[in-house]
Amino acid sequence: MLEAIFFLPLLTGLLTLCLPVRSGRVVLMAVALLHLGLTGFCWLHAPAPHLPTYFGNGPAGVLVLLVISFIFVCIAPYSIFYMREQEMRSEPIFLGCMQLFLGTMSMAALADHPIVLWIAIEATTLASAPLIFINRSKKALEATWKYVLICSVGIALALLGFFFITLALDRAGIDVPLTFSALNEAARQLDPLWLRTGFIFVLIGFGTKMGLAPMHTWLPDAHSEAPSPASALLSGALLNCAFLGIYKVHCLMVLAGLGEFSGSLLIGFGLLSIAVAGIFILNQPDYKRMLAYSSIENMGVIALGIGVGGLGLYGAMLHLIHHSLLKSSLFLSAGNLVLGFGTKLVAQCGGMARLLPRTCLGFFAGFLGISGLPPFGIFVSELMILTGAIQTGHPIAAGLFIAALVLVVAGFARIATDMAFGPVREEVLVPEQTVRIVPPLALLATSVLLCVWMPEPLYETITSTIAMIGGTLHG
């Protein structure tokens, strides 16, 4: 039953590849709604997996699954109307790969076997590559090539890391199945040297996919060259899957008593990512690239939060949810902007408030949110991570974190002013359309809503996700 969540989009995705465009669009929309329904069912009834050796519904997995599913439901109608405005030669491929991408990401979220998780994450790379080069421009080709090659090589290293973790299990001489749940129970007996080596490789491997600096080089290219709905999925859903891989191994490390080691590595990579992203955001002429760098920054914040532990863990999980909501909303608004103005350069987007008023509203509200200003959730989560860092005795990390955040906010502010005061254009290429305005605004509204009212099951899932490695809300 649990497996249906990823089998359904995989099957319909393959089917859509050979269907005509019109019915393909209907299938995409139906699958998005059905997937959300199945995810809801999974949350309420926690169905048992058919293949418990490979899949399971751990709290971290279902949390990521819910985020993916919710974002996909918002992106699916948008992408249908976005594609209608563009002369698209191969729309069936786009529609099919969107569903395959959803299927592989759901599989990654539900995987409990390390190698199955690896297979699913490598499959996400392959399913999303056609989404990026769908336009077949020179730049899109370059971006796709870098994406496929850098991520494949990176993820290959993660496979090596999982072999080392298996070795740690063999060296301990205990006979348990190779699943994360079984490994967690036997964590204390595992060979610490090989566990450490394994973690380093997994962190580098999945860190490449998650966009942690200095392995992030594919990310700005892929996110800026992909069509906007695909960018929104890449940034809002895919990065979380790669994070989940790192998080699961980090949990194993903490349970094995090596949390100090893995935590400090996560803090290091996290801070480096925030700083690198801050520097590149500061003078970024291309707003989609700027959003991509902001994703690197936010992934860094999540890694930092997980690394410091305590209250930071809760903050990191909250940050994951709100970053996905806000960033996919921003990418969707950016898509409207690309359609309207036909450019990705900040300097040529003057007069946005007059020509595209509703897009402007969504875009700037998203800007406020992603810079960490209230009433959006990132304000709360970043505050929690900061408090967590100070409580757990990482004052230097907290200081660097604040400094890097200032850089990021400065970059955002500069772009906002450039967009407001740039040379005013006379007309737009494609006017605004309500169907393309509602999804980004709905995502923003969800972020605000989650700040004032968090449903009980969601709260409980987050706390049980972090309780395993000693994170509390009242730390």
Partner 1 sequence: MNTGIDVVLVVILLSVLLSLASSRMMALVKIMALQGAMVSIAPLLLDEHSPLSNEGILFFQLMFLIKAALIPGLLYLAVTKVAIKREVEPIVGYHASLVVGLGLILLSAYITHHLGISLTGDAALLLIAAITTLGGGLFLMMSRTKAITQVIGYLMLENGIYLVGTALTGQSHSIYLVEFGVLLDLLVGVMIMGIILHNINRTFDDVDTAYLGQLKD
| Binding stretches for partner 1 (CB under 8 A) | 53-54, 113, 115-116, 118-119, 122-123, 125-126, 129-130, 133, 136, 138-139, 141-146, 148-149, 152-153, 156, 159-160, 163-164, 166-167, 169-171, 175, 178, 193, 220-221, 224-225, 280, 284, 289
Radius of gyration of the chain (CA): 21
User: Cβ closer to partner 1: 169 or 195?
Assistant: 169
* β-bridge partners, 55: 111
Shortest separation between residue 138's beta carbon and partner 1, angstroms: 6
Query: Is the C-alpha dihedral spanning 29, 428, 142, 220 positive or negative?
Result: negative
Kindly tell me which of 156 and 186 has the beta carbon lying closer to partner 1.
Answer: 156
Report the nearest approach of partner 1 to the CB of residue 462 (Å): 30
- Smallest separation, CB 139 to partner 1 (Å): 6
Tell me the closest approach of the beta carbon of residue 99 to partner 1, in angstroms: 16
Amino acid (one-letter) located at 400: L
How far apart are CB 320 and partner 1 at their closest, in Å? 26
Whichever of 167 and 420 has its CB closer to partner 1, that residue is: 167
What one-character-per-residue DSSP string does 375-406 give? TSHHHHHHHHHHHHHHHTT-HHHHHHHHHHHH
- Integer CA distances (angstroms), 310 to 108, 131, 260, 366, 467, in order: 26, 38, 13, 28, 10
Residue 278, amino acid: G
Helices (H), 111-177: 114-132, 138-172
- In angstroms, the CA 211 to CA 233 distance is 14
The tokens for 266 are: 């996560």
Tokens in use for 33?
Answer: 């709604």
User: Which residues is 111 bridged to in the sheet?
Assistant: 55
- DSSP per residue, 284-299: -SBHHHHHHHHHHHHH
- Using the minimum distance from each CB to partner 1, give the nearer residue, 82 or 162: 162
Residue in the structure block whose two tokens are 């249908």: 80
Q: Which of 252, 356 has the CB closer to partner 1? A: 252
Contacts of 150 by beta carbon, 8 Å cutoff, 6+ apart: 208, 215, 217, 218
CB of 244 to partner 1, least distance (A): 18
Pick between residue 148 and residue 346 the one whose CB is nearest to partner 1.
148
Smallest gap from Cβ 170 to partner 1, in A, equals: 5
Q: Which is nearer to partner 1, 1 or 176 (CB)?
A: 176
